Structure 1
Amino acid sequence: MNRASLGEQLANNVEQWIRSEHIAEGTPLPERSLAARFRVSRSPVREAFQILAERGLIAQRPDGGYAVSEVAERSVEVTLPPADEDEPVYLMIAEDRLAGKLPDRMTESELMRRYGLTRTQLAEVLRRIVQEGWIERLPGHGWQFLPVLTNGAAYDQGYRIRILLEPSGILEPTYKLDEEALRKCRAEQQALADGAAEWASPAQLFDANSRLHEVIASASGNIFIQETLRRVNRLRRLMEYGKSVNRTAAIQRCKEHLTLIDLLLSDQREAAADFMRLHLRDAAREKSSRKAAEIDGRK
């Protein structure tokens, strides 16, 4: 599968850190310190250094190791994780499931025949679906699809519970922001707003946006808010994977995300909570009716 290596992902994270923190030219980048900062071993750090050196963002020091180069002070490009090679068949299964064309239980042989897959190809697709929480292996034989949102009314309810919970989470007394995680989300949202939303797959858009909202919910320190949002996101995932994507609206949502993030980074929590509420209400109005029409039209 066409997934970015840990070293490539780390290189993007280090690149964004250098830019967002305005790390000065010539600043040394100790391998051990970077490994501790990003919670990885030193091996992917070395791989990331090689990638960043090839990009011209860092350079080797005469006495060994690497340091920030002059080029690193420029605005750098942040890319989304690449779409999987199995994306077309994955989305086909999601579409069929939403349309009620698949039974609750199926064997691997049935899935292979229906979608023209080898056992290895099917295993990769099933692994992804399991990770996303809408199928599970049955004891002994076969697979069972798990409940998801399949109609417009349920989709609306998902947004209403988010409007109640997410702004409140920002105002929780236990709120503690993970600034590093939020800055990583900001880099993703900036890439989308700068044009990546024009070509990103439905899965990439959903993952980037839900990741941001879950980072913000985690900052609340309230486990019930965190787990409720994760549950809602899992249930609505398939409806967000519909083939029709309003690219103009997607870019607008990403721009709103950037405003929201900047309010949080500047510790304007009251303003951020109000903005979150408006953002979710606008998104609900734009998306709920469209998704309801698409899903109900499949029935």
Structure 2
Amino acid sequence: MARPLADLLAANIHQHIATSGIAPGTRLPERMLAEQFNVSRSPVREALKRLAAQEIVFAHPDGGYAVAAAASKATVDADESNDGDDDEATYLAIAEDRLAGTLADRFTENELIRRYGVTRAQLNAILRRMAQEGWIERRPGHGWMFLPVLTSAETYRQGYRYRLLIESAGVMEPTFRLDREALLRCRAEQEALVNGGVRTASPAALFDANSRLHETIAACSGNLFILEGLRRLDRLRRLMEYRKAVDRDQAERRCREHLTLIDLLLADQREAAADFLKLHLHNAAREKASD
């Protein structure tokens, strides 16, 4: 029997805390978790209550919940952990097969169940994630279809050149308004990665944390075209990022650069932040193009 949504969500949040290396005391806003897992705030609230009962999180004096000190020592239930590992492996296998051209544009759930040896419940969870991330959609009536993604080294490089054009320009937009609270949440996440989390985080977790920061900065621009352009590109390049081997030293260096970028923005040094962002993206493109 399928577990209630709040139970599944609690396991996912716990796994997110563990793999991202989020520091004890870090606040866990309901809205942020709801957006990340594509659910309403009500099941997030119930999931956090369950985690509080397990002492993974605690009720913060100012409201909401924060990561407990015991969270780093606690482990996810063995069956849940194994299920999560299996789901992640299947998810990445589908991504790899799609990029390799061995999966047709259109497919059914039964075809994937036979191909990857997963249960229908496991596949449904994976399909929900893929749909949320924007690289599949349900077909009218029956089955699913893959949406366009970047599939070649050249289109991948073009994506970075596009980012060089729009992201730093967004910082200098006259409509730029700093969302301090959102940037501080990103800072806590990046700091947790620098403090060891980057060594164990999955490629998906690293991609999500880093794209969340860049999209947060784009949102501050006040220019919807910059924000939506970056979001669309992130959906397109997601699978290419998963396919690349993760160089943990490079990943840590990029996270440290993220902290510098955030601090420049928090100090209202926008011109310096825009210049630093250009350099950061140029270096990232050069490193990843050589992977």
Q: Same fold judged by TM-score > 0.5? A: yes
* Number of residue pairs the alignment of both structures matches: 256
Q: CA deviation at 1:165?
A: 0.5
C-alpha distance in 2 between matches for 1:95 and 1:35:
32
1:170 aligned residue: 171
Q: CA deviation at 1:117?
A: 1.4
2:25 to 15, 19, 25: 15
Cα contact 1:156–1:288 (8 A) shared by 2: yes
- Tell me if 1:158 matches 2:159: yes
Q: CA deviation at 1:254?
A: 0.2
How far does the alpha carbon of each residue in 1:212-269 deviate from its partner, in whole angstroms, 9 at most, with x for none? 0000000000000000000110000001112611111000000000000000011100
CA 1:172/1:114 → structure 2, altered by over 3 Å: closer, same or farther? same
C-alpha distance in 1 between matches for 2:58 and 2:148:
46
C-alpha distance in 2 between matches for 1:53 and 1:111:
35
2:37 aligned residue: none
CA 1:236/1:193 → structure 2, altered by over 3 Å: closer, same or farther? same
Q: CA deviation at 1:275?
A: 0.2
Cα contact 2:52–2:59 (8 A) shared by 1: no
2:256 aligned residue: 255
2:146 aligned residue: 145
Q: Match of 2:128, as an amino acid?
A: R
1:259-274 map, 5 Å: 259-274=260-275
Cα contact 2:48–2:57 (8 A) shared by 1: no
Q: CA deviation at 1:289?
A: 3.0
Cα contact 1:152–1:289 (8 A) shared by 2: no
Q: CA deviation at 1:171?
A: 0.6
1:124 aligned residue: 125
C-alpha distance in 2 between matches for 1:186 and 1:93:
32
Q: CA deviation at 1:143?
A: 1.1
2:241 aligned residue: 240
Q: CA deviation at 1:14?
A: 9.9
CA 1:108/1:54 → structure 2, altered by over 3 Å: closer, same or farther? closer
Cα contact 1:35–1:45 (8 A) shared by 2: no
Structure 1, 114-123 or 262-271: larger mean CA deviation:
114-123
| Gapped regions of structure 1 (runs ≥ 5) | 19-33, 60-65, 291-299
Q: CA deviation at 1:177?
A: 1.0
1:106 aligned residue: 107
Question: Which of the pair has more CA radius of gyration?
Answer: 1
1:176-191 map, 5 Å: 176-191=177-192
Q: CA deviation at 1:139?
A: 1.2
CA 1:108/1:51 → structure 2, altered by over 3 Å: closer, same or farther? closer
Cα contact 1:169–1:225 (8 A) shared by 2: yes
- Tell me if 1:222 matches 2:237: no
Q: Match of 1:287, as an amino acid?
A: K
Q: CA deviation at 1:181?
A: 0.7
CA 1:270/1:95 → structure 2, altered by over 3 Å: closer, same or farther? same
C-alpha distance in 1 between matches for 2:140 and 2:126:
19
RMSD over aligned Cα atoms: 3.6
C-alpha distance in 1 between matches for 2:45 and 2:290:
45
C-alpha distance in 1 between matches for 2:56 and 2:121:
35
1:18-29 map, 5 Å: none
Q: Give TM-score, length-normalised by structure 2.
A: 0.77
Q: CA deviation at 1:288?
A: 2.1
- Tell me if 1:201 matches 2:211: no
Cα contact 1:16–1:78 (8 A) shared by 2: no
CA 1:127/1:284 → structure 2, altered by over 3 Å: closer, same or farther? same
CA 1:243/1:228 → structure 2, altered by over 3 Å: closer, same or farther? closer
Q: CA deviation at 1:112?
A: 0.7
How far does the alpha carbon of each residue in 1:173-209 deviate from its partner, in whole angstroms, 9 at most, with x for none? 1001111111010011001111111111000000000
How far does the alpha carbon of each residue in 1:142-166 deviate from its partner, in whole angstroms, 9 at most, with x for none? 1111100001000000000100100
CA 1:263/1:110 → structure 2, altered by over 3 Å: closer, same or farther? same
Q: CA deviation at 1:105?
A: 0.9
Q: Counterpart of 1:136 in 2: which secondary structure?
A: strand
2:4 aligned residue: none
Q: Counterpart of 1:176 in 2: which secondary structure?
A: coil
CA 1:53/1:180 → structure 2, altered by over 3 Å: closer, same or farther? farther
